[in-house]
Amino acid sequence: MKPAAGAEEDTAAQARARILAVIRAIPRGQVMGYGQVAAKAGLPGRARLTARVLGMNDDPDLPWHRVLRSDGRIAMPEGSRGWREQNQRLRAEGVLMERGRVKHMPRGGGDDLDAAVWGPG
């Protein structure tokens, strides 16, 4: 049996809120991949959902620029206004970039990020 439409909307809103919480907790000067964000939000395998949530973002304070492809590349077309802005924001935070790619992309989520999102222990 399918959940009622209202229940699906609640679930979608909860998933969105969890994704946004993870993104807000990414420390300045650090980055995560779309899939890493989804996994930290308890939504493994939902990298595209992370991208969709970011695409609908209207919060100017959300550090959207800290979310990249899993290989460390900026997801926007190279040279586009958004690509240039993301590159500039990351460099301003001290992230080492080379041709639109983070030089040292973390492979897994860190314990520090877990603590920032979910609190101690």
DSSP string covering 74-116: -SSPTTSHHHHHHHHHHHHTT--EETTEETT--SS--HHHHHH
The H or E element that residue 33 is part of is strand 32-33
Task: State the pLDDT confidence band at 111, using cuts at 50, 70 and 90.
Answer: very low
pTM of the predicted model, to two decimals?
0.80
pLDDT tens per residue across span 35-71: 999 999 999 999 999 999 999 999 999 999 999 999 9
Cβ atoms of residues 23 and 64 within 8 Å: yes
pLDDT tens per residue across span 28-43: 999 999 999 999 999 9
